Amino acid sequence: MYPQVIEEGTTKLGQKYEVNYENGVKVLNSENANYSFGSLHQIMLKGIEEVLKKHRPTRILILGLGAGSILSIMKNKFKWPHTYTAVEIDADIIRLKQAYFDQDDTGNGEMLCLDAKTAIHQLVAHSYDLIVDDVFWDNRIPDFCKDQDYLNRNRELLKEGGIYMRNTMAAEGMNHKDYEKQLSRVFSSFYAIKHPVFKNKIYFCQD
């Protein structure tokens, strides 16, 4: 019943982590947050279920892969051919994914070990039906993720009718009003839902 630590340490980029068994499930945690397969998995599942009410994405960009919660959800929910590009800045997090969480999810996508700010400028515009942005450092969203230039480039990467989905933590101290002003400058429409249990606010933006 108590969490069992499988591995813990600090990545070369300075991110503290633990791989744990929690309630019989293997999870990846940072110092103050769940990164994959715990509460975050439930939040991402809620977001993807919202997307799938009206859309059937086939090309997906994942910014901030962690140990691959979103790939697991896609595998279970996307019952049609799809491809993905996954971006993860921390090579040690990728190692943990491969060592403890790897699934048969590499055949229909590619993984880039880059920071998201760099990666989005290397990708081809108008390529993705869905962008899932879950870039965090521990429990905080990096400032660059809130900048208009970053949001603009994500918009440019979307196909017509594509969706930019952004997870935000309830307790991170983010100014949601300021963020929503930025979103309104970039996207023609957006809305948000709040997870009923974890209170994370998930944004869905379109142009």
- By DSSP bridging, strand 158-168 and strand 109-112 are unpaired
Could you tell me where the beta strands, DSSP code E, fall in 80-174? 83-87, 109-112, 128-133, 158-168
Percent of the chain with pLDDT over 70: 95
Report pLDDT digits (tens) over 135-186: 988 888 999 999 999 999 999 999 999 999 999 986 666 788 999 999 999 9
Which segment of 46-50, 68-72, 130-134, 155-159 scores lowest on mean pLDDT? 68-72
Strand partners, 83: 59
C-alpha 172, offset from chain centre:
16
Residue 95 identity: R
- Which is nearest to 43 in space by CA: 147, 206, 192? 192
DSSP annotation of 102 reads -
pLDDT score, position 84: 96
Note the pTM of the prediction, 2 decimals.
0.93
For range 50-79, the mean pLDDT? 94
pLDDT score, position 106: 54
DSSP annotation of 64 reads S
Rounded CA separation 13/38 (Å): 23
DSSP annotation of 188 reads S
Show Cβ contacts of residue 5 under 8 Å, excluding neighbours closer than 6 positions. 18, 19, 20
pLDDT score, position 196: 86
**pLDDT band of 104, cuts 50, 70, 90:** low
Type and span of the H or E element at 185: helix 176-186
Higher pLDDT residue, 32 or 103? 32
Q: Does domain 37-206 have CATH number 3.40.50.150?
A: yes
**pLDDT band of 118, cuts 50, 70, 90:** very high
Report pLDDT digits (tens) over 17-56: 999 998 888 999 898 888 888 888 899 999 999 999 999 9
pLDDT score, position 173: 65
Residue 190 identity: F
Domain ranges of the chain: 37-206
Neighbours of 150 (CB within 10 A): 22
Contact 62, 68 (CB under 8 A): no
For range 54-80, the mean pLDDT? 93
